[in-house]
Amino acid sequence: MPNRDVAKEGAAGKAAPVEVREAAGSSAAESPATGPIDGMQPGNGWSLLASELSVLFRRRRTWAMLLALAAVPVLMAVAVRASSSVPPGRGPAFLDRITQNGLFVGVTALLVCVPLFLPLTVGVVAGDTIAGEAGLGTLRYLLVAPAGRVRLLLVKYAGAAVFCIVGPLVVALAGAGIGSALFPVGPVTLLSGDVIAPGEALVRLVLVAAYLTVSLLGLSAVGMFLSTLTDVPVGAMAATIVASVVSQVLGELPQLEWLHPWLFTHYWFGFADLLRQPVAWDSFGSNALLQAGYIAVFGALAYGRFVTKDILS
C-alpha cells in the first residue's frame, strides 16, 4: 500500500526531529513515543516553562557555571583564612571585615562577581535562548507543537530570568556558608554604623542577591534579542557579554556622564543602600525602573524580529 507507506514515513519524519531535540537537551514538551510528558500539553505555557527549566538545569554547562560562581566566595574565604591579615583599604570593599564576621564573605563575593562573572553566565544563558534552538534545527518543531512564537519567546525569557535569580543566590549562600565555617559569625555593623543580628544580616544578604537579580534582567533581554538575530548561539553569547563590558566601560567615562543614567549597568553597584539602617530603597526602585525599560525595549525588538523570522531557512 503506497499511501500507507508514505503516511508512515511522514509520521516518522515529524517525530525524528523531536527525538533529536530531546537528546540535544532542548526544551521540547512532547515525546513522539509516549505523547506529552507527564500529561503536559505542548500548547500549555506552564508546561512549556517547566520543560524549559528542566532542560536548563539538567545541562552540565549550567551546573558548571553555578559551581564556578560558588567557587568565587570559597576561594576568597580560603585565601583570607590562609593569610595572616588583610590590609585595610586593599582589595574589594568589605574584604578586611571578613575575618571579623564570616557573613561579609557573601557580600564581598557578590561585589566581585558583579562586573564579570555574573554577566558572563547570564550572557551564556540569554544568548542561547533562541539561537540555541535555531542552531540545533529544533526551533521549527517547537513552533509546530504549537507553542506559538510569542509564548515561546516569553517562556525563553522566563527561563533566563530564573537563572538570574539562581546565580546571585548561589554566590550569596555559598559565601554565607563558607564564611560561617571559617570565620566567627556575630552581629553585623552596617555602613550606617548600626548593628544588626546575624539573622537580619542574612536577610540583607538575600536582598542584595535580589537587587542583583533585578540588575541582570535588562542584560537578559538584550541577550534574548541578540539571540533572535543569529543561528549561532556562541555569537549571541559573546555579543551579550561584550554589551555588558561596553556598558560598564562607557559608565566610567566622565565625558559621557549624560549617558550614564541610561546604561543598564548604571545601578549595578547601588546595593550598598541595602546595607544601611533604615534600608534606602531609592536605588532599588531606580534600578528596577531602568531594567524594566530595557526589558520593554529589547523585548519588543526581539518580538519584532522573532515573529518575522524565517525559521525554515
DSSP, residue by residue, 43-95: T-HHHHHHHHHHHHTT-HHHHHHHHHHHHHHHHHHHHHHHSS---TT-SSTTG
Buried-exposed string 5-17: b where 16+ CB fall within 10 A, e elsewhere: eeeeeeeeeeeeb
How much is the pLDDT for 145? 56
User: Grid coordinates standing for 144?
Assistant: 509546530
In the chain, domain spans: 53-307
List of E strands, the chain: 30-31, 35-36, 188-189, 195-196
Q: Say yes or no to pLDDT of 26 above 70.
A: no
Q: Say yes or no to pLDDT of 304 above 60.
A: yes
Digit-coded pLDDT (tens) for 68-109: 999 999 999 999 888 866 666 666 778 888 888 999 999 999
Buried-exposed string 185-212: b where 16+ CB fall within 10 A, e elsewhere: beebbbeeeeebebeebbebbbbbbbbb
Half-sphere exposure of 301 (CA within 13 A, CB side): 14
* Alpha-carbon span 28 to 219, nearest angstrom: 25
CA angle 204–206–209, rounded 5-degree value: 115
Q: Say yes or no to pLDDT of 178 above 90.
A: yes
Digit-coded pLDDT (tens) for 220-240: 999 999 999 998 999 999 999
Digit-coded pLDDT (tens) for 248-297: 999 999 999 999 999 999 999 999 889 988 888 999 999 999 999 999 99
Q: What is the CA radius of gyration of the chain?
A: 23
